[in-house]
């Protein structure tokens, strides 16, 4: 199926108004493009819940710091639209930048709570204000019933869920398990930056946090398990931003043994920053 491609908010709203008139529900899948099977899985899951799926592609300048990879972020619009069509997305919204940030735009949506858990926010201080501002706009522009997000970006999933709740945006945020390569590496648009050798080393991020989760299940304390994983990654040449164990819902440091836990990590391999997380 060839999806309908729209670039203006007016055209998007014409399509969604028609769906509403026909009594159809719809889900939105926000992405930055460079579509891979992690993204198309979100489309597949959206189709299970709603009659129609909109995928958005917008490389959001506000969530990149000056020294980050905005200019070289991989872009392949034609390929993306093809893949999204194959996955069953009915509409692809690729807004012109002025549809998101028109001249004079001066609002920032900014959260505390999970957005200040000391994980991504500590290493990318501009990141969540950029994410929540653009995601709030995409929720409001699309008016979707469901929003599909990957667990791969675990803190982001918690942050956008909290934002929709706090702002009474009538959308259900749905988290989808991480899609992985055969060796366990989480699919990511940024994996194309890895050299052949780095690509082989990269699997260690998933294996080390999986071992940490196993050790915690086996009775090891959370701090020692995180330290072991950090040491393993450093020994393999990673520069580790953090490996930490948090409450899976609040992202706060664990208080007692029976709360739901998540091992969450971010580390650099050469010039590529990888993030991953697993349930305990």
The 3-state secondary structure of 37-76, one letter per residue: HHHHHHHHHHHHHCCEEEEEECCCHHHCCCCCCCCCCCCC
The single residue listed with the structure tokens 């972020």 is 73
Rounded to the nearest 5 degrees, what angle is found at the Cα of 163, between the Cα atoms of 158 and 164? 105
Q: 16 vs 188, which CB is nearer to ligand AMP?
A: 188
Q: Is 256 helix (H, G, I), strand (E, B) or coil?
A: coil
* Catalytic positions: 39
DSSP run (H or E) holding 278: strand 272-279
178 binds ligand AMP (CB under 6 A): yes
Least separation, in Å, of the C-beta of 64 and ligand AMP? 11
The upper half-sphere exposure of residue 123, i.e. CA atoms within 13 Å in the direction of its Cβ, equals 16
The piece of 75-83, 178-186, 245-253, 254-262 that touches ligand AMP (CB under 6 A) is 178-186
Least separation, in Å, of the C-beta of 231 and ligand AMP? 26
Among the listed residues 132, 133, 161, 188, the single contact to ligand AMP using CB under 6 A = 188
155 binds ligand AMP (CB under 6 A): no
Least separation, in Å, of the C-beta of 153 and ligand AMP? 4
**d(C-alpha 138, C-alpha 141), whole Å:** 5
- Rule CB under 6 A: which of 64-83 touch ligand AMP? none
Interacting residues of 170 by C-beta distance below 8 A, sequence separation 6+ = 145
Least separation, in Å, of the C-beta of 256 and ligand AMP? 29
179 binds ligand AMP (CB under 6 A): yes
| Residues at the interface with ligand AMP (CB under 6 A) | 31-32, 38-39, 41-42, 149-150, 152-153, 176, 178-179, 186-189
């Amino acid at each position: 199926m060839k999806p309908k491609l729209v670039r203006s908010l007016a055209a998007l709203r014409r399509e969604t108004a028609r769906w509403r008139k026909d009594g159809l529900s719809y889900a939105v899948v926000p992405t930055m493009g460079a579509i891979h099977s992690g993204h198309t899985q979100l489309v597949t899951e959206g189709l299970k819940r709603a009659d129609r799926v909109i995928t958005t592609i917008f490389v959001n300048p506000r969530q990149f710091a000056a020294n980050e990879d905005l200019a070289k972020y991989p872009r392949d619009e034609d390929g993306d639209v093809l893949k999204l069509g194959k996955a069953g997305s009915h509409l692809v919204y690729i807004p012109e930048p002025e549809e998101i940030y028109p001249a004079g735009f001066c609002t920032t949506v900014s959260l505390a709570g999970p957005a200040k858990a000391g994980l991504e926010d500590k290493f990318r201080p501009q990141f969540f204000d950029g994410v929540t501002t653009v995601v709030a706009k995409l929720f409001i522009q699309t008016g979707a019933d469901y929003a599909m997000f990957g667990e791969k970006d675990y803190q982001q999933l918690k942050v956008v869920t909290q934002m929709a709740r706090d702002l009474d945006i009538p959308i259900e945020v749905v988290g989808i398990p991480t899609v992985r390569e055969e060796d366990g590496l989480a699919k990511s648009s940024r994996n194309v930056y890895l050299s052949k050798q780095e690509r082989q080393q990269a699997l260690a991020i998933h294996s080390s946090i999986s071992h940490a989760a196993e050790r915690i299940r086996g009775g090891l304390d959370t701090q020692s398990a995180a330290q072991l994983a950090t040491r393993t990654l450093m020994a393999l040449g990673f520069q580790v931003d953090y490996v930490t164990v948090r409450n899976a819902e609040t992202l706060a440091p664990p208080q007692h043994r029976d709360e739901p836990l998540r091992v969450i990590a971010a580390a650099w391999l050469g010039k590529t920053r990888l993030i991953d997380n697993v349930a305990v």
